[in-house]
Amino acid sequence: MRFTIHRGQHEIGGMCIEVAAGDGTRVLFDLGMPLVAPDGGDFPRDTPQRPTAELIAEGVLVDVPGVFAHDATAPGVSAIVLTHSHADHYGLAHHAHPAIPVFGSAGTIAILEVGRVFFPEQRLPVELRVLPPDEPLRLGRGGPDPGGGLTVTAIPVDHAAPDSRALLVEADGQRLLYTGDLRAHGRTGFRFEHLLADERVRGADWLLCEGTTLGSSGGSHGLRSETAVEGRLVELAAAAAQKLLAVAASGQNLDRLVSCYRAARRSRRQLVVDAYQAYVLMKLAPLSKNIPQVSWDGVRVSFPPHQVERLKAAGLLGLAQEMSRDGRV
């Protein structure tokens, strides 16, 4: 087994890791957008949508042989496997050869499909496939292959992105564990202990550990877990009495949405989400029966006009009307 960190070793974001088996099977883990431009500032918002050749020339994309269409008619990489749905891990995957399948967990694919509706200007890979949830994905030189010599097993980990995965690769009698982004303080923090106890990863030959901190005191905010965030929201709600309490958070941060819902219920308040967040919750509903939905008591929806236009353009006006009937604020 041979592995190469093409990007992400000396920076945060832009992850791109290649693993190759002795029979020539190659797979990429993540193909993300760098977070920081060379000058230390932010990249222009439309950077990921620019032509592949320009991004390679400027060093935004690493020209990995066999990944892009300019190399050959048939790609030299069997698959791209995404650890989770943050752009620094998937944001440049659409530049890969269209014949390369892109795999992710059910939650990762769901979030990317939400993006097709609300952010149509942002390109995504043509072919998105769901990773097998309970068995290894076997790959050969031409792609998924029951007789292939390289396997990838997706293992659930706790992270702000829903349904994140660590990836265990086996080839040539060796095992490599790539953690992806992971933490131990979210609502599924127990997954960190499960990973440590997982017999499949014990004695792995290689560990690639993503991240800049393994532990944190909570910094200036003093909160050490998502449960503590919920408690703080309850305190703020009590202090605000009859006033509106507004929370700014990523609409994809499932843990934070659950914390807001639970805090609202404990405070006898209504949780109001926008149509985008409502759609995210709906698409993630298959992951757990504990994910709040618009049809639940205590959940309401506001409808910013631009979000309604996006739903309408995607042929989902009926869904918007259904959300309105169930929970319009």
Q: Is residue 197 located within the same domain as residue 280?
A: no
pLDDT at residue number 75: 87
pLDDT tens-digit readout, 18-43: 999 999 999 999 999 999 888 888 99
How, if at all, do strands 16-20 and 26-29 pair? Answer: antiparallel
> What tokens appear for 169 in the block?
């690769």
Q: Give 3's Cβ-side CA count (13 Å radius).
A: 23
Q: Residue 323 is part of which domain span?
A: 220-327
| Rounded Cα gap, residues 2 and 176, in angstroms | 10
Same domain? 183 vs 236: no
Length of the chain: 329
109 and 235 co-located in one domain = no
CA dihedral angle for residue 176, residue 214, residue 28, residue 83, rounded to 10 degrees: 110
pLDDT of 70 > 70? The answer is: yes
What is the reported pLDDT for 213? 60
- Looking at residue 218, its pLDDT comes to 54
Q: Which region among 57-71, 210-224, 243-257 has the lowest average model confidence (pLDDT)?
A: 210-224
Q: Measuring CA to CA, which residue among 103, 93, 87 is closest to residue 125?
A: 93
For residue 66, count CB atoms less than 10 angstroms from its CB and return exposed for 0-12, middle for 13-18, buried for 19 or more: middle
Domain boundary among 208, 239, 255: 208
The verdict on residue 213 lying in a domain is no
Contact 112, 90 (CB under 8 A): yes
Q: Please, which residues have CB within 8 angstroms of residue 274's CB and are 6 or more apart in sequence?
A: 251, 301, 302, 303, 304, 307
**pLDDT recorded at residue 69:** 87
Residues 6+ positions from 246 with CB-CB distance below 8 Å:
none
Is the same domain home to 111 and 31? yes
Q: Is the residue at 214 inside a domain?
A: no
In sequence order, the 6+-apart residues with CB closer than 8 A to the CB of 248 are none
According to the model, what pLDDT value does residue 224 have?
Answer: 83
Across the strands, what pairs with 17?
5, 29
Domain count, the chain: 2
Q: Give the Cβ contact number of residue 258 at 10 Å.
A: 19
The answer to whether the beta carbons of residues 169 and 178 sit under 8 Å apart is yes
Tell me: do 133 and 263 sit in the same domain: no
Structural domain ending residue among the three candidates 157, 186, 208? 208
Q: Is residue 268 classed exposed, middle or buried when 0-12, 13-18 and 19+ CB atoms within 10 A define those classes?
A: exposed
Q: Is pLDDT above 80 for 106?
A: yes
- With a CB cutoff of 8 Å and minimum separation 6, the contacts of 56 are 62, 63, 68
Q: What is the pLDDT of residues 174-228, one digit of tens each?
A: 999 999 998 888 999 999 999 999 999 999 999 998 875 655 555 666 788 899 9
Query: Which residues have CB under 8 Å from 281's CB, separation 6+?
Result: 254, 257, 273, 291, 292, 293, 294
- The mean predicted confidence, pLDDT, of the chain is 91
The pLDDT tens digits for 286-321 are 999 999 999 999 999 999 999 999 999 999 999 999
Lowest-confidence range among 138-147, 173-182, 231-240, 287-296? 138-147
172 and 272 both lie in a single domain: no
The answer to whether the predicted template modeling score (pTM) of the entire model surpasses 0.85 is yes
> Of 176 and 122, which is predicted with more confidence?
176
Asked whether residue 149 falls in the same domain as residue 178, the answer is yes
Q: Which of 152, 180, 208 is the last residue of a domain?
A: 208
